Amino acid sequence: MNDYRFVVDRNAVRYVDANGTSCAEVTFPDVGDNTVEIDHTFVDDSLRGRGIAGQLLERCVRSLEETGRKAIPTCFYAMHWFEKHPERGDLLA
């Protein structure tokens, strides 16, 4: 079984295996004025049903809080996640 870890950078959170291969990710490129667009969430079929997408969004939200940025969610999963977590609405642009 592979060991996985989360890797966070300015505009993405990735879930990578021991070889550094990305198996899941959420991307949030800058769109200006301290705002990002959460435009893509992906989880490999082999990892589905383990809550990985939710963990990716949690780490994305932490990154936004730490850097003082707001989000415009445009991918379906991110829009749904923010609907389920209205307490995080302060991060929406």
Concatenating the DSSP letter of every residue in 11-39 gives TEEEEE-TT--EEEEEE--EEETTEEEE-
pTM score, whole prediction: 0.92
- Domain ranges for the chain, please list them: 5-87
pLDDT, tens digit, for every residue of 21-64?
999 999 999 999 999 999 999 999 999 999 999 999 999 999 99
Reply yes or no on whether the pLDDT at 1 is more than 80: no
CA atoms lying within 13 Å on the CB side of residue 25: 18
Q: What is the CATH number of domain 5-87?
A: 3.40.630.30
Sign of CA dihedral 35, 58, 56, 2: positive
In Å, how far from its chain's centre is CA 37? 11
**In 3D, which of 84, 82, 86 has the Cα closest to residue 37?**
82
